[in-house]
């Protein structure tokens, strides 16, 4: 709930300054979405979470398919995370940062979003040659079979295309890193679900980087993308539940298929009544 309200507050604060919406807002309208102190305290409380055991990770890897490039990459991601115990931001590293002989990955702050922008090596934990071999074989495959260069990403994003039926589908790999941690989180969750194991959500920082080591978007854009991602998940789980006061109308039919539908649904559920109509009309014409 804290994430939803914070995201909506930031969105309306931005929207109030956009042409066509200024007259519908009074200064401070976005404070309507400010979470209460109790909600903030609950949301920011530190709680211990259960981590998977090495045996559970091995079970996950055994059950993961590896027939396509995407499936092999997904297995290598799980193995990489367990043998390095690194933050997910390390997924943005390049092939040249993996030193197989020294059994380490160099987290270069010019490319990887490290904590406090420090550059440091991360050595493989001695958890077993089988786990390391998955990562090593994946890097060798990219170099030898795919003919990728040292500056290409170690874990490239999935290329998505539109098929003949008008649906999105995976079509191999794209020689670019991910711009957010959402797809990585989804890969881990699906792998654990397939193995019949509970997945504990982690606080994953975004793995934002490009081949030149610069951020692929501005800080405001990255925060906006994260807000939309969080709000879309939160709104979906909190439908039909009033937040600050009882709703005066029934919630609209879910339109979670598009980001615009998510924003419009959130507006109709939570926005102040006097500026709700102007926003909804703008969304409909936008």
pLDDT tens digits, one per residue of 67-120: 999 999 999 999 999 998 877 777 888 899 999 899 988 888 888 877 788 888
First and final CA of the chain: distance in angstroms? 27
User: Of 162, 194, 226, which marks where a domain is finished?
Assistant: 194
User: Of 194, 228, 243, which marks where a domain is finished?
Assistant: 194
Domain of 140, in residue numbers = 54-194
**Higher pLDDT residue, 67 or 232?**
67
Domain assignment present for residue 153? The answer is yes
Q: Pick from 92, 63, 68, 66: which is nearest to 80 by CA?
A: 92
pLDDT tens digits, one per residue of 110-146: 888 777 888 888 899 899 999 999 999 999 999 999 9
CB 272 within 8 A of CB 32: yes
Q: What is the CATH number of the domain that holds 135?
A: 1.10.443.10
**Run of H or E including 115:** none
- CA gap 46, 62 in Å, rounded: 33
- CA gap 179, 175 in Å, rounded: 13
Domain assignment present for residue 208? The answer is no
Q: Is 235 exposed, middle or buried (0-12, 13-18, 19+ CB in 10 A)?
A: buried
Domain assignment present for residue 156? The answer is yes
**Higher pLDDT residue, 30 or 258?**
30
Domain assignment present for residue 71? The answer is yes
Report the chain's mean pLDDT, rounded to a whole number.
Answer: 74
Extended strands (E) in the chain: 98-99, 104-107, 120-123, 157-162, 168-174
Q: Are residues 190 and 99 in the same domain?
A: yes
Domain assignment present for residue 207? The answer is no
Q: Provide φ and ψ at 37, rounded to 5°.
A: -60, -40
Q: Are residues 77 and 159 in the same domain?
A: yes
Domain assignment present for residue 113? The answer is yes
Which residues have a Cβ under 8 Å from the Cβ of 279 and sit 6 or more positions away?
15, 21, 24, 267, 271
88 secondary structure, DSSP code: G
Which residues have a Cβ under 8 Å from the Cβ of 22 and sit 6 or more positions away?
16
pLDDT of 198 over the 80 cut: no
Q: Are residues 62 and 149 in the same domain?
A: yes
Domain assignment present for residue 268? The answer is yes
Q: Are residues 136 and 188 in the same domain?
A: yes
Tell me how many domains the chain contains.
Answer: 2
Q: Are residues 59 and 174 in the same domain?
A: yes
- CA gap 208, 214 in Å, rounded: 8
Q: Are residues 71 and 180 in the same domain?
A: yes
Name the region of 8 (left: φ>0; alpha: ψ -120 to 50; beta: rest): alpha
Pairing relation of β-strands 104-107 and 98-99?
Answer: antiparallel
Q: Are residues 58 and 99 in the same domain?
A: yes
User: Of 194, 226, 246, which marks where a domain is finished?
Assistant: 194
Q: Ranked by mean pLDDT, which of 70-84, 176-190, 200-214 comes out on top?
A: 70-84
pLDDT of 15 over the 80 cut: yes
Q: Are residues 84 and 119 in the same domain?
A: yes
Percent of the chain with pLDDT over 90: 23
Extended strands (E) in 90-187: 98-99, 104-107, 120-123, 157-162, 168-174
Q: Are residues 157 and 266 in the same domain?
A: no
Answering whether pTM is above 0.75, one says no
Domain assignment present for residue 229? The answer is yes
């Amino acid at each position: 709930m804290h994430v939803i309200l914070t995201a909506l507050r930031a969105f309306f604060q931005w929207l109030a300054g956009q042409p066509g919406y200024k007259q519908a807002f009074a200064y401070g309208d976005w404070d309507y979405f400010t979470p209460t102190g109790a909600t903030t305290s609950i949301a920011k409380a530190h709680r211990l979470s259960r981590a998977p055991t090495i045996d559970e990770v091995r079970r996950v890897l055994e059950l993961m398919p590896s027939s396509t490039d995407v499936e092999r990459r997904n297995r290598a991601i799980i193995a990489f995370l367990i043998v390095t115990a690194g933050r997910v931001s390390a997924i943005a590293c390049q092939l040249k940062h993996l030193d197989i002989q020294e059994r380490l990955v160099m987290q270069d702050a010019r490319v990887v979003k490290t904590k406090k922008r420090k550059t440091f090596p991360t050595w493989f934990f001695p958890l077993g040659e089988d786990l390391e071999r998955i990562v090593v074989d994946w890097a060798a495959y990219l170099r030898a079979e795919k003919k990728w260069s040292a500056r290409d990403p170690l874990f490239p994003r999935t290329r998505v295309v539109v098929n003949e039926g008008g649906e999105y589908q995976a079509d191999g790999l794209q020689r670019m890193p991910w711009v957010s941690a959402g797809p990585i989180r989804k890969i881990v969750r699906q792998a654990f679900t397939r193995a019949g194991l509970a997945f504990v959500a982690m606080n994953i920082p975004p793995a934002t980087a490009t081949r030149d080591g610069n951020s692929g978007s501005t800080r405001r854009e990255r925060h906006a993308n994260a807000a939309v991602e969080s709000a879309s998940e939160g709104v979906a789980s909190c439908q039909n539940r009033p937040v600050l006061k009882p709703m005066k109308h029934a919630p609209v039919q879910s339109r979670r298929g598009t980001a615009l539908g998510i924003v419009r649904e959130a507006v109709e559920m939570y926005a102040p009544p006097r500026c709700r109509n102007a926003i909804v009309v703008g969304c409909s014409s936008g």
